[in-house]
Chain A
Amino acid sequence: MSLDRSPEAAPRLRGSRRRRASRRHPRVPRVRTILLVLLGFILSGVGGALNFFWPTITAAVGATGHTIQAPTPTSLPGSPTAAPSVAAGSQAPFTVLLMGSDNDGKFTTSSGTPYFCCAQSLILVRVNPAAGSVTMLSIPRDLWVPIYSAKGEERSDGKVSEAFGDAGDGTSGADAQIATIEQDFQVTIDHYVWIGLQGLINLIDEVGGIDIVASHPVMDDNYPYDVAGSTNPYAADRVAVLPGAQHMDGLGALEYVRSRHDDISEDIGRNVRQQQVLVALRQKLSQLSLGDINNLASALSGEVLTDVPLTQFSLLLGISKDVGSGSIQHVYLTQYSDGTEDGQDVLEPDMSAILAVVHQYFPSS
């Protein structure tokens, strides 16, 4: 076979090659182009989503996934093993310590160093996802008990809430508070959530307020005026929350849960109100959707700390939605008497009676 190499034949050959080339080579760039365009759209979409969730991501990196430093409490002879944590992602029950306190370091030592006073609210929550039930147990903040360091070493006796303010060992207050409660109440705390006063205000405002039936007039002429820009840590304010059903904003709800002076039941009355607000907040948060998370994260920035990893939040929210208000059990400790220690009014606990109540609802460690 001979090739036609005549000058007339050359353009035919070139045209034929060009056609073949246009059939073969441009296809690769076209596929590449399509992939490039698709990638561009995907990257743009991811960028848009990242931009939206950026406040959430930055807040979450700072606020979640902390590791509890407190060691496992000393076991009681013959006590059952504590349940596994929510991190396992199972339906197993778990225990969360909720802590509320101020975090503005408004008090200072004699040397002028800011220190945190104490936890204003301590609530142990037992969640049983399989049963769809929740038990909330309030620990009176003035209970006089041994205080432990974050490393689990007994330091001195004090009000149980003081452990948060004086962790020792350079560790955070939450760890010492957890260690103290685990050792004194012989329970294992799987997770903790701490929220500051302003954080509670922001959270409730962000969800549009909560519905509360105030059980009685909550009156207080010596309410601490330490949020909303106050610079005097000892300034007092007046509070009057009138009784009955009402829609409360964040500041109103904080006043409702924090006031204690004109309450015939003293701290227990406040504990009842705190649990009431938590239940109302849970009801509102159960309506949370993806689009709210960003605003919520911004509102809580710097006001929440937890060891619960971000990946477990959807699980917790799911559990929260599954628990009906009728499945929430409220427990209050009353097994104590009034006393005086180191010149301060305290609650002297009957620990054997208290442990019997605690271990009815929380497995002993």
Chain B
Amino acid sequence: MSRSRRLLTWIVLLVLMVAFGAGVNRYLASGSTVAFAPAEKPTQTAVKLSLPGTVYFADGGGLFALTGAHITQLQAEGQGWTQPVLIPGGAGLLAVKVTANYYSDLYELDLSGKVEAQLSHDSGKVTATQPGADDWIYYPAVGPGNTLYFSYDWPKGNVDDLAQCCYQVDLSIWKTTLGTDIDRTAVEHSDGITQESWANYYTGGDVSPLPLASGGLIYVDYEAANDNSEVSTPVPGADPGDEVSQIRMDPTPNANGTGHGTPLTQPGDDCAQPALNPDETEIAMICTPVVNGAPSSSESDLVVASFDAATGTLGPLNRIATGTMAASPTWSPDGTDLVYLAPEAGDGYFELWYVKDATTLPALQARQVTSDLDLDGSAPVWTP
């Protein structure tokens, strides 16, 4: 072999060696777990199942509409948008916009996502040492006569006393008329805004108001699981620090002055996130299962029960989806099917799931609607 050919051979071998080393490096790098991958932005490829009508949802701080297999961006991600709800009659949407670690505000949008109005002003000129000047508004819901219900972190304890400030911050449910300007001053002085529920202090408060056609109100409160002063029956197997939720109904909110309503579910059921079907005969909700004799801290069931709005009674709790982390159910416009949120296997990001004929037993297997998204846990809106 000539000297030049030998030299060429060595050069080729050296290149191959370097390539082999680089290959080993890349092979190791390619072994990263898919489960740790970041979520995708909402695109058509994320849709695994087409649903009739349009489903509005929040993802990564943006708002989106899913129509068939097509996803439309209404508001860009990263802006803190969450909790979209429909204005009755389908005239538009309400949604909460969160400025993380400071405050949130309520906005009215048209169905294309254009902001029509800012309904609350909860930034209280906060300083680094007085964050209690800001406020949270969450869980908007519009009832008959354009009555707007929402959760607001007022009253809160010792807000004017910096030494004692800011320990007790609980959400209570408030009511006003859609379009009324909401801020701390209006809430504090009940200026066109009235308090509908009185939270158990230091529990986080009352959430998820659901107005009834009769003028009544369904909502969720939180209670210490083993505190006899808060729960009717201490929850077996609950840890000392556990809290449980109860779905309550107040047929005449603010009339009796107690603001606590009557419980529809028991403390041991630990149910929350109620969704009422259009004719108010069924409630879908999320309840905590008992696993190994104690309330689970890593599972939540999708539950459906019949409901009599006139008497305020709930039928047996039928568990539709179990062994998962179900969240935020929403009824189809005709009140037969459900969509809800639950983690996708592997990466754990929350996706949209669908159950057909949700009031029929035994329940059908849930089908996954979206994939690789990161839905934020707030309930979607389903319109015709």
Contacts and interface: CB of A to CB of B under 8 A. Distances in A.
A276 B22 CA distance: 41
Contact of A261 (B166, B243, B342, B343): B166
Contact of B325 (A232, A245, A279): A245
A243 interface: yes
A189 B288 CA distance: 35
Mostly, the A contact residues are mixed
A263 B245 contact: no
Interface string A199-238: 0000000111111010111111111010000001011111
B341 interface: yes
A283 B346 CA distance: 10
Interface string B245-288: 10000000000000000000000000011000000000000101
Given A221-B131, A221-B166, A271 B328 contact: no
Interface stretch (B30-38, B180-188, B358-366): B30-38
B339 interface: no
Size category, A interface: 35 or more
Interface residues of B, number: 87
A244 B327 contact: yes
B103 interface: yes
B101 A272 contact: no
A220 B28 contact: no
A221 B224 contact: no
A280 B298 contact: yes
Given A245-B327, A246-B377, A221 B25 contact: no
Interface string B15-53: 011101111110011111101111000000000000000
Contacts of A240: 104, 136, 138, 153
A287 interface: yes
A327 B60 CA distance: 34
Interface string A123-167: 000000000000000000000000000000000000000000000
B349 interface: yes
Contact of A222 (B17, B29, B165): B165
Given A208-B348, A245-B326, A291 B35 contact: no
Contacts of A283: 298
B245 A243 contact: yes
Nearest to B324: A245
Given A44-B21, A268-B240, A271-B241, A245 B204 contact: no
Given A208-B348, A221-B169, A245 B20 contact: no
A216 B20 contact: no
Contacts of B128: 225, 232, 235-236
B167 A269 contact: no
A3 B41 CA distance: 90
A246 B4 CA distance: 66
A37 interface: yes
A287 B239 contact: no
Given A239-B101, A263-B241, A292-B33, A217 B350 contact: no
Nearest to B38: A208
B370 interface: no
A261 B25 contact: no
B273 to A, nearest CB: 6
A332 B13 CA distance: 63
B37 to A, nearest CB: 6
Contacts of B20: 41, 44-45, 48
A207 B204 CA distance: 29
Interface string B289-323: 00110001111100000000000000000000000
B207 interface: yes
B24 A49 contact: yes
Nearest to A37: B13
B224 A48 contact: no
Of A47, A209, A216, chain B has the most CB atoms within 10 Å of the CB of A216
Contact of A213 (B16, B299, B376): B299
B209 interface: no
A66 interface: no
Given A44-B17, A289-B31, A332 B240 contact: yes
Contacts of A287: 33, 35-36, 346
A238 B98 CA distance: 12
Given A41-B16, A264-B200, A264-B227, 20 more contacts: A40-B13, A44-B24, A48-B21, A215-B244, A221-B165, A222-B167, A238-B101, A240-B104, A243-B245, A243-B272, A245-B286, A245-B325, A247-B343, A247-B348, A247-B349, A261-B168, A268-B239, A287-B36, A289-B33, A290-B31
Interface of A: 37, 40-41, 43-49, 51-53, 206-211, 213, 215-223, 225, 232, 234-240, 242-247, 261-265, 268-273, 276, 279-280, 283-284, 287-292, 294-295, 325-326, 330, 332, 334
13 contacts: A48-B24, A53-B28, A217-B203, A217-B205, A217-B207, A235-B129, A237-B131, A238-B103, A238-B136, A261-B167, A273-B241, A290-B31, A326-B291
Interface of B: 13-14, 16-18, 20-25, 28-33, 35-38, 101-104, 126, 128-132, 134, 136, 138, 153, 156, 165-171, 200-205, 207, 222, 224, 227, 239-245, 272-273, 286, 288, 291-292, 296-300, 325-328, 341-343, 346-350, 374, 376-378
Q: Which 6 A-B pairs have the closest CB atoms?
A: A291-B31, A217-B204, A221-B166, A44-B21, A48-B21, A268-B241
